[in-house]
Amino acid sequence: MPNDKPFDLNMHTARLLMREPFFAALSRRIDKIATDSVPTAGVRVNPDTAQFEMFYNPKFMGALKDEHKQGVLMHEFYHIIFEHVTTRKPEGGIRRIDNIAMDLAINGLSEMRGKLPCEADPGPVLREGGEPMKGCLPGEGKFAELPSDQTYEWYLAALEKMEEESEKNGEGSPFGEADDFDVHDGFGEGGGNDAANEIAKERLKEAVKKAAEEADKAGSWGTVSGRMRKMIKDRLTTKVDWKKMLRYFVRTSQRADKRSTPRRLNKRFPKIHPGKRVRRQAKIAISIDQSGSVDDGMLAAFYSELDNLAQFAEFTVVPFDTEVAKDKVYVWKKGERRKWERVMCGGTCFDAPTKFVNEGKFDGHIVLTDMMAPKPIASKCQRMWMTTQEYARNPYFTTSEVVVAIDRK
């Protein structure tokens, strides 16, 4: 009896990536959404949640052989790792030549050879309607003169030169119509929102770090080359703009009455994310660790930025050590300027401020701390940790929540 149930990628990912420990671990941290809004597959940053999403057409993915399903997954994840997705979209949009260079940088990797639908033997996978599945492959077709294993920047420069020479000869674009099998429409989707991309990059760093640790523990990165492993690990050291992330946290913490409405549809992905009507009024708790290891420089930098944001939200400052100093809790009002002063000097217990915030009506919770205490109970609202570079690199506990290092310069 035929199975008419739509293909669910989430049910097959673990099996497909069984021999790719790094990608299997990374995959668990990326949302996968089935939709018929796209012909094949793609990735993007959700501008509302700053989460990475992979969307796919279940008919397309379901029809592929396992090795090609694996190739599509790896191709999309490399777009995320290489930060193609979080690159700010230019005012005129991402050019066709940029998209080709991105795909060449991925498809030209030695670990990708033979895994793409356009390389199927004895012939490429056919699109719906019988058209052959194409792809940008170094060393083949119109890219026959281009070598494999080069960067996006290298390919872009080479393509621009090819295009320039073609125009000099009075010819049109040498690249023609679509040669890619995936969708790049979601790239730079948070482009009008730099903070969304910054927070997504921070989440990516944490996801890649954990995936790398799992791969190291398993004793195998699968087909990921040594050169690529080094490049991936090097990306973990890049800095994030903590001020942008703080602003984004404030925006996404704003209380909202969200319901579908035809007045604000997401035009690019209407079936994935319907429109929302949003009423904003943020109430955010700022829990400040009173232990001596939280230095005054970090707090001074944070307070300075907090004053800039007071016009957008109501902040409640919550001093704590092993308990909350309830008589010292106060609301930071718009236009009010206060200097930081330490009011307690005990140890640290994160359960105390978390319980205080959970019992109140808050939309977000920011904790300034050295993170040198056991992992706390769950928060009922979104929570972000802010600490120094040193403590961010070596926290006492691990968390899937956002951890941001404050640069005191």
- 120-129, 164-173, 380-389: lowest mean pLDDT where? 120-129
pLDDT digits (tens, 9 = 90+) for 340-370: 666 767 788 999 999 999 999 899 999 998 8
Instruction: Provide the token pair at 58.
Output: 């279940």
DSSP 248: H
Between residues 126 and 28, which one has the greater pLDDT?
28
Q: Which residue has the tokens 């930081």?
A: 340
Q: Stretch 265-283: mean pLDDT, rounded?
A: 56
* Residue 263 pLDDT class (50, 70, 90 cuts): very low
Mean pLDDT, range 102-124, rounded to an integer: 77
Angle at alpha carbon of residue 42, lines to 41 and 46, rounded to 5°: 135
pLDDT of residue 323: 93
DSSP string, 97-135: HHHHHHHHHHHTSGGGTT-SGGG-SSSPPBPTTSPBPP-
Residue 91, both tokens: 């005012």
Q: Does residue 214 sit in helix, strand or coil?
A: helix
Q: Is pLDDT above 80 for 161?
A: yes
Q: Smallest Cα–Cα separation from 218: which of 13, 10, 24?
A: 24
310 confidence band (pLDDT: 50, 70, 90): confident
pLDDT digits (tens, 9 = 90+) for 196-211: 677 777 778 878 888 8
Inter-helix orientation angle 96-107/66-81, to 10°: 120
- The dihedrals phi and psi of 151, each to the nearest 5 degrees, come to -85, 165
Residues linked to residue 45 through DSSP beta bridges, in sequence order: 52
Query: Residue 320's pLDDT band (boundaries 50, 70, 90)?
Result: very high
Of 4-8, 222-226, 389-393, least confident by mean pLDDT is 389-393
Domains and CATH numbers, the chain: 9-237 (no CATH), 245-252+276-405 (3.40.50.410)
Both structure tokens of 265: 């549809």
d(CA 142, CA 146): 9
Q: What are the beta bridge partners of residue 54? A: 32, 43
pLDDT attached to residue 3: 55
Model confidence at 195: pLDDT above 80: no
| C-alpha atoms less than 13 angstroms from C-alpha of 375 in its C-beta half-sphere | 7
pLDDT at 314 over 80: yes
Q: What is the mean pLDDT of the chain?
A: 79
Work out the average pLDDT over 289-298.
Answer: 75
What are the DSSP calls for 349-397, one per residue? Answer: -THHHHHHHHHS--SEEEEES---S---PPPSSEEEEEE-HHHHHS-SS
State which amino acid sits at residue 60.
F
Q: Is the confidence at residue 163, as pLDDT, over 50?
A: yes
Alpha-helical segments (H) within 222-295 = 226-234, 242-253
Burial class (CB in 10 A: 0-12, 13-18, 19+), 235: middle
Helix, strand, or coil (residue 348): coil
Maximum average pLDDT range among 80-94, 140-154, 231-245: 140-154
Number of separate helices (H) and strands (E) present in the chain: 12, 9
Half-sphere exposure of 115 (CA within 13 A, CB side): 21
pLDDT in tens, 53-78: 899 989 888 888 888 899 989 999 99
**384, 242 Cβ separation under 8 angstroms:** no
CB count within 10 Å of CB 303 equals 19
pLDDT value of position 248: 78
Q: Which residue has the higher pLDDT, 220 or 278?
A: 220
User: String of b and e for 56-90 (b: at least 16 CB within 10 Å)?
Assistant: bbeebbbbbeeebbbbbbbbbbbbbbbebbbbeee
What's the pLDDT score for residue 261? Answer: 44
pLDDT above 90 as % of the chain:
18
Does the bond joining 47 to the residue before it have cis omega, within 30 degrees of 0? no
Angle between helices 152-168 and 96-107 (to 10 degrees): 130
**pLDDT, position 74:** 92
* pLDDT band, very low/low/confident/very high, at 96 (cuts 50, 70, 90): confident
The pTM of the full predicted model, rounded to 2 decimals, is 0.66
296: tokens are: 């005054």
Distance CA 208, CA 201 (A): 10
Cα torsion through 225, 231, 237, 243, rounded to 10: -120
